């Protein structure tokens, strides 16, 4: 959910771009933004990606299962586009047509992303609550109903 929608209830195409950026970062990392936890800080997945980007360590965001099957430039581009999509200010986010162009054209020059929305550290209590919610939602119950004809 984009910051402007979460805080002010304002929804636009820029809100969709924000959501796409979250999805892109989740795909690259193999982790969900909601319930994300890192032992060194209390940021969300977006904040973690931003911290890594600023340290030029963005490839550390990548899901380990992709280690043997990725092109470094493509992963970096996906992370950069994801960060461009989740920028705090809606006007700073690219249009979806630009996102498609940036992802599909290696020669396209991309701007540097600015700070993402929700780039705040959560408190320990917030982390414990999130982890508790994640744990409670990870149980799967299956019900099987056998149909019999009359």
Q: Where are the domains of the chain?
A: 3-137
- Token pair for residue 92? 């700073």
Among candidates 48, 36, 49, which has minimal Cα distance to 130? 36
- Whether residue 119 has pLDDT greater than 80: no
In CATH terms, the superfamily for domain 3-137 is Transferase(Phosphotransferase) domain 1 (1.10.510.10)
Other Cβ atoms closer than 10 A to 81: 25
The sign of the dihedral angle between the CA atoms of 145, 146, 149, 150 is negative
The predicted model scores a pTM of 0.75
| Helix, coil or strand: residue 23 | helix
Q: Would you state the pLDDT for residue 74?
A: 92
Among candidates 124, 128, 130, 112, which has minimal Cα distance to 50? 112
């Amino acid at each position: 959910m984009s910051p402007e929608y979460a805080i002010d209830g304002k929804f636009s195409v820029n809100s969709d771009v924000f959501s796409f950026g979250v999805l892109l970062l989740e795909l690259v990392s193999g982790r969900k933004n909601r319930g994300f936890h890192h032992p060194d800080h209390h940021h969300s997945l977006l904040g973690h990606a931003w911290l890594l980007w600023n340290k030029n360590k963005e490839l550390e965001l990548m899901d380990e299962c992709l280690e043997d099957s990725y092109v470094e430039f493509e992963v970096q581009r996906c992370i950069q586009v994801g960060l461009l999509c989740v920028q705090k200010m809606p006007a700073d986010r690219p249009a979806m047509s630009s996102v498609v162009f940036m992802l599909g054209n290696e020669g396209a020059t991309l701007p540097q992303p600015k700070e993402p929305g929700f780039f705040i550290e959560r408190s320990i209590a917030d982390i414990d609550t999130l982890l508790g919610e994640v744990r409670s939602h990870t149980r799967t119950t299956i019900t099987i109903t056998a149909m019999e004809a009359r």
